Amino acid sequence: MFRCCYKQFYIIWQNLNLYFAMFRIPVMRFFNLANVQIVRFISIRTPECSSTDGFRPPTPMIDLEDKSLPIPEYKEKKNEPLQLQKSRLLYQSRKRGMLENGLLLSTFAAKHLAGMDSAQTKLYDRLINLPSNDWDIFYWATGVKPTPKEYDNEVMNMLKAHVKNSDREQRFTQPDLYAKAT
């Protein structure tokens, strides 16, 4: 079958194993019955695989439980025009990563952000970007946890009043990003 030394045949055999393992096809299927003795001879001397089906085990997963990823610190944008800041905050209010805050903050921003002055806009920017956990914002707004002093301001009071929903508005979806042309 092969006219080569054992080392060369072993390298060829390993390459075939790697190639066919990509497609989950046993190499034995591609040898005819006359060459089975050679295949058995070589397979005895190949390194044993830890899996039971004869294929290489999958690459082990990396365990990230012990290595916590640091959350980057929020840097306030200096000299940002007010309209650009409001547009950015409107977008960030919609894309929170959790549905509850997405609904609460997007409806709040659609209702109140246009009427905010620069000081209120800065407070809202700090409120939604400085806490590292969105659940904290949700719990503060709903009153489950007490609001820390650095976030207890007029914008947080406006958000708490918005969350109480005294007008009984239906807030099942986020409002449109831009007003529809009529």
Helix axes 134-142, 99-112, angle to 10 degrees: 60
Does residue 117 sit within a domain?
A: yes
pTM of the model: 0.59
Does residue 92 sit within a domain?
A: yes
Biggest CA–CA distance in the chain, Å, is 87
Q: Please state the φ and ψ torsions of residue 176, each to the nearest 5 degrees.
A: -60, 145
Does residue 87 sit within a domain?
A: yes
| Tokens encoding 178 | 């831009």
pLDDT digits (tens, 9 = 90+) for 100-139: 888 999 999 999 999 999 999 999 999 999 887 888 999 9
Do the Cβ atoms of 140 and 151 come closer than 8 Å? yes
C-alpha dihedral (61, 62, 66, 67), degrees to nearest 10: -150
What pLDDT is recorded for position 131?
85
pLDDT digits (tens, 9 = 90+) for 13-51: 666 666 655 555 554 555 544 444 444 444 444 444 444
Does residue 154 sit within a domain?
A: yes
Q: Specify the residue for token string 């929903």.
A: 165
Read out DSSP for 119-137? HHHHHHHHHHHS-S-HHHH
- From CA 47, how far away is CA 49, in angstroms rounded? 6
What pLDDT is recorded for position 168?
84
Does residue 69 sit within a domain?
A: no
Mean pLDDT across 78-99:
90
- From CA 180, how far away is CA 182, in angstroms rounded? 6
* Dihedral sign for Cα atoms in the order 158, 160, 163, 168: negative
Does residue 178 sit within a domain?
A: no
Do the Cβ atoms of 104 and 138 come closer than 8 Å? yes
Does residue 86 sit within a domain?
A: yes
Do the Cβ atoms of 164 and 127 come closer than 8 Å? no
pLDDT digits (tens, 9 = 90+) for 130-166: 887 888 999 999 999 999 999 999 999 999 999 998 8
Specify the number of domains making up the chain: 1
Q: Which domain holds residue 154?
A: 82-164
CATH code of the domain covering residue 159:
1.10.150.250
Mean pLDDT across 60-89:
76
Q: Exposed, middle or buried: residue 38 (CB in 10 Å: 0-12, 13-18, 19+)? A: middle
Of 95, 89, 92, which Cα lies nearest the Cα of 123?
A: 89
| Tokens encoding 90 | 């409107």
Does residue 101 sit within a domain?
A: yes
